[in-house]
């Protein structure tokens, strides 16, 4: 997971620019590189799963690989959620924008549907 230093950097990473449609996240390079590395690994896992299906590999083995891939995606989601909570949400609440809480609840519901 992220180090305390990475989390401190994430605290200031997300911000709102003039209006909701302009919002962007700005992750520290180390955190961004970590997420890209994880996503590249997931991409490789997906290609491997596709190959397993093409080769008629035993279903249970494919399911095991799918579970590992989902776990890897979840780890990226956790990093993003942590940064979002400690950065974007805190900042917007500090600005008096409580709509961020409704947005966060919808996001958490999406994550929990998995």
In terms of Cα–Cα distance, which of 74, 69, 81 is closest to 25? Answer: 81
CB 83 within 8 A of CB 10: yes
For residue 9, how many C-alpha atoms fall within 13 Å in the half-sphere facing its CB?
A: 14
Residue 100 makes CB contacts below 8 A (sequence gap 6+) with 88, 89, 92, 93
Q: Are strands 14-15 and 24-25 parallel, antiparallel or unpaired?
A: antiparallel
Range of the domain at 74: 4-112
Give the domain CATH number at 80.
1.20.58.1000
Q: Tokens standing for 80?
A: 């993003």
Residue-level pLDDT, tens digit, the chain, 114 residues: 445 555 454 444 444 444 444 677 778 899 999 999 999 999 999 999 999 999 999 999 999 999 999 999 999 999 999 989 998 899 999 999 999 999 999 999 998 885
What per-residue confidence (pLDDT) applies to 24? 78
Q: How many domains does the chain have?
A: 1
Q: Quote the Cα angle for 101-72-52, to 5°.
A: 135
In terms of Cα–Cα distance, which of 25, 21, 20, 27 is closest to 6? Answer: 27
């Amino acid at each position: 997971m992220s180090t305390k230093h990475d989390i401190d950097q994430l605290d200031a990473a997300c911000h709102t620019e003039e209006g909701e449609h302009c919002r962007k996240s700005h992750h520290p390079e180390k955190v961004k590189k970590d997420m890209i590395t994880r996503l590249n690994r997931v991409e490789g896992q997906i290609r491997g799963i596709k190959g397993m299906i093409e080769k008629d590999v035993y279903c249970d083995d494919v399911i095991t690989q799918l579970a590992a891939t989902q776990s890897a995606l979840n780890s990226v989601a956790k990093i993003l959620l942590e940064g979002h909570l400690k950065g974007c949400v805190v900042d917007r609440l500090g600005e008096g924008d409580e709509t961020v809480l409704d947005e966060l609840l919808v996001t958490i519901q999406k994550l929990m549907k998995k």
